[in-house]
A = this chain, B = another copy of it.
Amino acid sequence: MAMKICRVNVEQQTSSCEDVPEPWVRLGGRGLIARILLDEVPPACEPLGPNNKLIFTPGLLVGHMLSSCDRLSIGGKSPLTGGVKESNAGGSTGMALALLGFHALIFEGWPTDSSWWVVVISQDGVRFDPAEDLIGLGVYASAARLIERYGEKVALSLIGPGGEMQLLAAGIQNLDKDRVPSRINARGGLGAVMGSKHIKAVVFDTAGTSKPPIADPAAFKAAQKTFTQALMAHPQTAAYRDYGTAGMARMCNSLGALPTRNFSSGQFESVETISGEHMREALQQRGGASETTHACMAGCTIRCSNVYADPQGKEIVSPLEYETIGLMGSNLGLTDLDDVARLNWQANDLGLDTIDLGAALGVAADAGVLAFGDAQRALELMDEIRAGTPLGRLLGGGAALTGKALGVRRVPVVKNQAISAYDPRAIKGTGVTYATTPQGADHTCGLTIRAKVDHTNPEGQAALSRTAQINMAGYDTLGACIFAGFGFAVVPETIPALINARYGWGVPPDFLQVLGRQTIELEKEFNRRAGFTPADDRLPEWMTQEPLTPTGAVFDVPAEDLDQVHNW
């Protein structure tokens, strides 16, 4: 069965499938999204208007339970940044797309009335089921009802009230392997795009499907084995298994890069109580639903995820990630991980990006809307979002909108998207990534924290970021998790080996970089046509002026360096 492009028109409620156009064949995930956007979406269109498209696509390696390589990319023109947008997630949806034979699934058109729909996709075709009973329901309750209705084996992509309200920080949630709906295509407001098309959920019923064909199964298996062994042997894999991403809290704090009280400091005096080490210990003591080692996708050998339970062993949220701890913990002056976990659950249930929401709350705290350290007030503000009050809509619109409306200068965004939990003044290579990636501030587009360099020295950071950006754009196109890179970096030859074995192609040894450069070039071209210029490839001015405690660093990578990052 050849992979197909499937289109679903929400205005006509029709669908159709077609062969993959030749220029789209050797792309998937992030790279394919950029290509489709350039080919089909007017770059200057309204992101929440009739001409935007919402694109689901698995990466090129998705479909065979390669460890950490079954990720789902969703994309479109971002209502948050106004530019190209791809956001990827783990969970089970990526695999379902591959099983259903979709090279890409493209939602098009605009609803003609106020009704909402569940789009049900199976081998039998596409069906629109009424979704009125789900409207206003949170992600968890909605997912439970959908699972009850469509069975335990379906994959789901759904939005919460945030997406329904077309809030600019709304994402799209997916089930993990345990049917918890918390694997979110978080960034850039794609949940609002889904909401603008009045799709509450997409149900993927894979009954009767089988894995995509492999051209050379023996070669594939051999490469898979080499890759998996390299991944398992990497020391970072073990660290992530023990502490999850939360292990980053101590590291970032020691570098003076942990966002604290709206990025006013890079160290948090209470870092220990929100650290991965503390979390592991607490969860081990609490037992019950607690899991310190949990996989979001079937087949993942890293298992960086967790289930966070309260002192009675009752699950609060799963997972609790470092980004959330940074943005909704230290950034809000919160010292108790239980509070952070509760905020995280609320954000998940609303279907919002915890990074942009956490950053928005930090900005709001600078404006006096809440006090730093006041978890109760922060939780009340989640209710404001749910109620759709003006303040709630602001917070759900992310840090840029909140800052603009409340008149705050210290707003940590690039291209209107929030900077994540690595202060770019203290980790300047990642600052270069934030500034220059076509995606808007996003550490997953090129994190440089593991490089053995002085992260506060501006020299050489652009080169560091360039390499990281190219590799990450490649991984995002393959459907590989950021952590799969630990393995691939050791055995890079397995990337072309896996691709050639699966597809029968003859891709070059540097295929990862070829994909990465191509993807970034496509994205930059879309942004250029949408009106972006080098003036958009900058960190906020205040970060170049306001020294960060305790390093005293400002962001001082020269503009000329930033402008050369993508000149390869």
Q: Which positions in A face B, CB cutoff 8 Å?
A: 43-46, 48-51, 165-168, 369, 389-391, 393-394, 397, 401, 404-407, 409, 529-536, 538, 540-542, 545
Contact = CB atoms under 8 A, between A and B. Distances in A.
A542 B110 CA distance: 13
A525 B404 CA distance: 25
B397 A541 contact: no
B541 A45 contact: yes
With most chain B CB atoms within 10 A of its CB, the pick from A168, A405, A542 is A405
A407 B533 contact: no
Copies of this protein in the assembly total: 2
A551 to B, nearest CB: 22
B409 A393 contact: no
A63 to B, nearest CB: 37
B401 A405 contact: yes
Given A394-B394, A531-B536, A533-B533, A542 B49 contact: yes
Contacts of A542: 46, 49
A458 to B, nearest CB: 19
A528 to B, nearest CB: 8
Contacts of A405: 390, 393-394, 397, 401, 405
Contacts of A50: 545
A404 B531 CA distance: 18
17 contacts: A49-B409, A49-B541, A50-B545, A51-B541, A166-B407, A168-B404, A369-B390, A390-B390, A390-B391, A390-B406, A391-B391, A397-B404, A397-B405, A405-B405, A529-B535, A531-B534, A531-B536
A557 to B, nearest CB: 15
A406 B46 CA distance: 15
Given A390-B391, A404-B397, A409 B48 contact: yes
Contacts of A545: 50
Contacts of A541: 44-46, 49, 51
Contacts of A404: 168, 397, 401
A167 B166 CA distance: 24
A470 B407 CA distance: 35
Given A49-B541, A49-B542, A51-B541, A44 B535 contact: yes
